[in-house]
A = this chain, B = another copy of it.
Amino acid sequence: MYRIGVDLGGTKIAVASISENNEIIRKLSTPTEPERGNNAVAEDIARLIKQLCADDGIKPCDVSFAGIAAPGAINPETGYIERAHNLDMEHFPIVDMVKELCGIDNVKIENDANAAALGEAVAGAAKGTKYSVMITLGTGVGGGFIIDGHVFSGFNYTGGEFGHMVICAGGRPCNCGRRGCWEAYSSATALVAMTREAMEAHPESELHKVAAEQGKVSGKTAFIASRRGDAAALAVVDEYVSKLACGIVNVINLLQPDVLSIGGGISNEGDGLMIPLQKQIDREIFIHGMGPSTEIRIAKLGNDAGLIGAANL
């Protein structure tokens, strides 16, 4: 059984062969350059798949499964990318094109956040669980909900929009048009915005020095300055952890997955994030008197989660 995972992103297309044990055998990639047009992107995916097969000594017709992870509104039933802003795609039949260009019968597609959650469920932080949620703290707050090795995304495949759960009605504006979405507080983008606000309010803060050392304000700035004891940075991290915990407790109260794993750039903070986060979650969790609650873990597979998940669709 030879399986392929494809991770189609706004900047890069990655393609990998995946072993029975869900390890990456070989990986190839190329820039996406979506401005070339949708067909050119699909042709590049096909080219990489054929190259991968050649390198692994396999005929494309012997590929038992290829799965694609892609951003935006995806219809896994029709195989269309319905809407993906950063790929400049609308109603594009990517699955049929890849089938035809490569001669592979079994090709599926899923939203990239859902595919990453599936990757963590089959081979990462949530391996061996029945129910798991993965939250990705990046440009936005992505999420995926896995039940028994399958993505759950509701009747129209658009569920799992964890980032667009309002936790602070009337609060910070979100790209989706609502105010107070979790994403407006817990994405890396939001953390950078809150860090900039604190820098403006506190010209004396160590945040300025850290930003100068790094050459930019990033999701790391507040965490680094807080470890140096800076008061403004500590307040930013406190606020960030508090809102992150708020959203996580909401998800747990609703879904009680065995494991909720946290991925994305911010998760690289490790214990600096996880220890205060777990404390805050323990304070807020609904006490039901029925034994243990969801375990919070850092995601394990990094950027490979989507590729491994895609191969398991």
Contact = CB atoms under 8 A, between A and B. Distances in A.
A256 B156 contact: yes
B290 A249 contact: no
B73 A292 contact: no
B289 A165 contact: no
Interface residues of A, number: 54
Interface string A144-168: 0101000011111111111011111
Given A131-B155, A169-B167, A82 B255 contact: no
A275 B60 CA distance: 55
Nearest to A83: B289
Residues of A contacting B: mostly: loop
Interface string A250-268: 1101111110000000000
A286 B159 CA distance: 10
B286 A161 contact: yes
A156 B286 contact: no
B290 A73 contact: yes
Contact of A158 (B161, B171, B258, B290): B290
Given A167-B166, A169-B243, A155 B254 contact: no
Contacts of A75: 290
Interface of A: 73, 75, 82-83, 129-131, 145, 147, 152-162, 164-171, 176-178, 180, 242-243, 246, 249-251, 253-258, 284, 286-294
